[in-house]
Amino acid sequence: MEKHIPVLLEEVIENLNIRDGLTYVDMTLGGAGHSSVILSKIPNGHLYGFDQDDFAINKAKEKLADFSNYTIIKDNFLNAKERLYELGITQVDGILFDLGVSSFQFDIPERGFSYKFDNELDMRMNQSAKLTAKEIINTYSYEDLVLILFKYSEEKYARRIVKNIIREREIKPINTTFELVDVIKRSLPNKVLNQKGHPAKKTFQALRIEVNDELNVFTKALENAIDLLAPKGRLAVITFHSLEDRICKQIFRKHSTIDVPEGVPIIVTEKPLLSLINRKVIIASEAELEYNNRAHSAKLRIVEKN
């Protein structure tokens, strides 16, 4: 199994402006790579980590064995604000989102996230949830499947892929990752099949987003996180594809600007809710890219609450 290496670790730690004695939240605990470093800097503080995946939580506990000043909450980060309120935590000093699927989730064939392993199509981050990729592939209408592939992965050949999915499932259900990969490959022209990168990547990304309602959940969770921040608290977000980054950029811009009607002589005295720490998105250094392949598509944005 591939070792889980936290992405943009140095940049996250530096820009979160971590100070001892304060409270931090890792919304995407995963293998606790970021959290372990945060905890090493706050011996008198506390960290709350959210994850809905049992495997990830067990991995995190192993990683954090030397620390006691943390609390793991098994839940979707959509519910973080409510869950923290239940514990009497109404403000925190730093929040991190590291979006996407953890590398060890991809590496477990039974989870059905990866086109590299032949297993049942699943893709649930929360394994107690009902909706799976197999159900989507075998029950969604042509129109809905095309929309998912266009909207969530900008798949140029969505219609061709979906036509073949419909044709195949009329003969027999498409139950496994490799069965779906075969349909996708049959749907694409040779010029695409011969390109670098796996031909099923976009379709699998779109299915994963739909299974976990990732974009809607992230939008709501990010707004909630902004509410949770204490004054001078910082929020860092690592995204891995343009759809997530666009949401993050738009929400940060909305809360870091004051709308003034054009041509109206008004002196603006009100401060925006947020200040951008980096106006230009932060990406991985050449040095990190040499040892951490997952960092290639990572983008980091940070804001501070005024």
Q: What are the start-end ranges of the H helices in 140-200?
A: 142-153, 158-171, 177-187, 190-193
What HEC string does 196-220 produce?
Answer: CCCCCHHHHHHHHHHHHCHHHHHHH
**Whether pLDDT at 264 is above 70:** no
What separation in angstroms does the CA of 33 have from each of 4, 134, 271?
Answer: 8, 31, 35
Q: Spell out the domains of the chain, with CATH numbers in brackets.
A: 9-98+214-305 (3.40.50.150), 110-212 (1.10.150.170)
Q: How far apart are CA 263 and CA 279, in angstroms?
A: 26
Quick: pLDDT tens for 180-236: 999 999 999 999 999 988 999 999 999 999 999 999 999 999 999 999 999 999 999
> pLDDT by residue (tens digit) across 286-295?
999 999 888 9
Q: Tell me, what's the pLDDT at 266? A: 65
pLDDT band for 254, please (50, 70, 90 cuts): very high
Find the angle CA(49)-CA(123)-CA(98) to the nearest 5 degrees.
35
The percentage of residues in the chain with a pLDDT greater than 90, rounded to a whole number, is: 84
**Structure-block tokens of residue 22:** 């304060």
Average pLDDT value for residue range 256-284: 83
Average pLDDT over residues 92-121: 86
